[in-house]
Structure 1
Amino acid sequence: MAPNSRIILTRHAQAEHNVGLDYSIHDAPLTPLGKKQAAALAPQVEALSQEVDLVATSPLKRTLQTTKLGWAPAISRLGGLEKVILLPEFQECNDFPCDTGSSQEILSQDPELHGFNFSHLPPDWTSKQGFWSADRTRIAQRAKWVRQWLRNRPEQTIVLVGHGDILRELTASAEGPSGYMWKNAEARMFTFDPSTVEGDECFLWQEKGKEVAVAGGYAPTSTEDDILGVGNGKKL
């Protein structure tokens, strides 16, 4: 257990569903611009990549692509893509097609994702049912599970790549989810709140000025669209 570890959270780069707010695109991958944004992240975090001990990511296509491109220096140093840990618990919150992952078979056949180890993904992780549902209680449970997983890891510096809505859930406080609007391919550094690190919630905390890098612009999530009054998003 490493309660003093540093957690570098990263949002995926621009994906196809961010363009035109089309949430019907299943497991939306990065756009050509998104790939450029993700690749532009790598030189911004090159020095920090030398300190990274572990890389983990949501197993949706856009986060896998962002991880591969944006954290390439760290991944190479740590032994390649097969060493990246895939966390289905960190999938995006909503049950739109764009936020629904793909099966092991589909992911393993994608040439852009060759090298990742999909063998540990449970068959039902894409079901959006039960533990994997878009219910607020389940989302909070998954976010807490991820915080506990991070706290219990022995590594000192961990990269975790995810999505805007689940990142706000992960960085929640006792008052509720964060309201921060994550930018595309943005990385921010967090540590554990000393007052809660030993408890079940083990909230994360960020010092002011601990932004790491921003490689892309801002594209709203489906939940943010609902808050902002645009698009076809639904409130969680």
Structure 2
Amino acid sequence: MGYRNRICRGIASSSIPSSNPQKPIQLHICRPSASLSDMDVISSPGLYPLHRCKTLHLVRHAQGVHNVEGDKDFSNYLSEELFDAHLTPLGWQQVDNLRKHVHETGLSKKIELVIVSPLLRTLQTAVGVFGGEGYKDGINVPPLMVENAGESNRPAISSLDCPPFVAVELCREHLYRLIGGVLVLQIDSDEDNLWEANYREKDEELATRGKKFLNWLWTREEREIAVVTHSGFLYHTLSLFGNDCHPSVKSEICTHFANCELRSMVIVDRCMLGSDPATTNYPGKNPSGLDLPSDVADEKLSNDKEGK
């Protein structure tokens, strides 16, 4: 489909918890409204061809040690030592709770791909939630996570019976640029273009990177994708959306995520930029003979009679 410089899509959402809004780009969220006042804001539901939609399951990482220290003193978030923080014991409990949820709801069977920021706290969260069961000796596949990775005191996690995982630099948190990034998957080149000494990425730059990430995401062939990333990245990216919908729907999109919160959203290609063919549409094939809609058939019959 090729890379696009402009995103021209909508995101519709459903969630688990939330907490605070901001600014958007071009979005169409339409839901059946529960009251007349709602109907004043949203005139009618919208329809989009299924093959022009993707479902995104967006997850913020579980509690990391940087969150604990940042609550004590916000300046700790700028600490180089905490840049690649690992999860806390509470964070691992949050991971276990979300893992239970995605299995009980059947979501774990629907996800075709897991995209994750290449920082340790997001990798631990993604693997803990969406990875295979405990790794056993003698299995001839590499584990997704080795035993006690990042001081986790957790057993190794298997890569069996789970979707593929792809770590992507574009969905990393605010870039503090104190150290070079983990080179995992660069979208445009093999260089770490996101690194620049002694410079913290501005919020608007983060939002631009988020838009670029969504453009790239649209080129993936998978239709149901989990993205495990960071609070700032999610907030500033999603705040590009939501102005043209009911305030309650906007608040579902444009609020900060809690640790290990999951929200499922639909991204819609409304600009005919996509080229993927529909896989479930069926044109309707009948034996021979006319098969006209009734109103067309009535008109044709009437015209035939007048012509006699």
TM range (shorter): 0.5 to 0.7
Which residue of 144, 152, 168 corresponds with 2:211? 144
Cα root mean square deviation, aligned: 3.1
**Corresponding residue SS for 1:45:** helix
Shift of 1:76: 3.6
1:60–1:128 CA distance, 2 compared to 1 (3 A) = farther
Aligned to 1:16: 65
Matches within 5 A, 1:193-232: 193=268, 195=270, 198=273
Shift of 1:69: 0.3
Structure with the larger RCO, 1 or 2 (CA within 8 Å, 6+ apart): 2
Deviations 1:37-59 (A, max 9, x none): 11221110011110111111000
Aligned to 1:184: 259
Cα separation, 2, equivalents of 1:57 and 1:149:
14
Cα separation, 1, equivalents of 2:86 and 2:93:
13
1:135–1:196 CA distance, 2 compared to 1 (3 A) = farther
Which residue of 156, 172, 191 corresponds with 1:91? 172
1:48–1:28 CA distance, 2 compared to 1 (3 A) = same
Aligned to 1:36: 93
Shift of 1:151: 1.4
Q: Which amino acid aligns with 1:41?
A: L
Aligned to 1:221: none
- Alpha-carbon contact 1:63-1:162 (below 8 Å) kept: yes
Cα separation, 2, equivalents of 1:94 and 1:179:
21
1:174–1:37 CA distance, 2 compared to 1 (3 A) = closer
- Alpha-carbon contact 1:103-1:126 (below 8 Å) kept: no
Q: Which runs of structure 1 show a deviation greater than 6 angstroms over 4 or more consecutive aligned residues?
A: none
Cα separation, 2, equivalents of 1:93 and 1:135:
8
Structure 1: which 5+ residue stretches go unaligned? 105-117, 200-236
Shift of 1:136: 3.8
TM-score (norm 2): 0.50
Residue 56 in structure 1 maps to residue 115 in structure 2: yes
Cα separation, 1, equivalents of 2:272 and 2:203:
23
1:96–1:52 CA distance, 2 compared to 1 (3 A) = same
1:60–1:173 CA distance, 2 compared to 1 (3 A) = same
- Alpha-carbon contact 2:118-2:169 (below 8 Å) kept: yes
For the pair shown, the structure with the greater C-alpha radius of gyration is 2
Residue 71 in structure 1 maps to residue 130 in structure 2: yes
Cα separation, 2, equivalents of 1:48 and 1:7:
11
Question: Aligned pairs, how many?
Answer: 178
**Corresponding residue SS for 2:176:** coil
Which residue of 207, 211, 236 corresponds with 1:169? 236
Deviations 1:170-198 (A, max 9, x none): 322276x9640201111111111454684
- Alpha-carbon contact 1:58-1:64 (below 8 Å) kept: yes
TM-score (norm 1): 0.64
Cα separation, 2, equivalents of 1:185 and 1:126:
25
Cα separation, 1, equivalents of 2:236 and 2:91:
23
Q: Which amino acid aligns with 1:30?
A: L
Cα separation, 1, equivalents of 2:113 and 2:83:
28
Structure 2: which 5+ residue stretches go unaligned? 2-50, 71-75, 134-158, 244-249, 275-308
Cα separation, 1, equivalents of 2:272 and 2:235:
18
Identity of aligned pairs, percent? 29
Q: Which amino acid aligns with 1:31?
A: T
1:128–1:184 CA distance, 2 compared to 1 (3 A) = farther
Deviations 1:50-92 (A, max 9, x none): 011111100011000000101125964246xxx3111101000
Shift of 1:153: 1.1
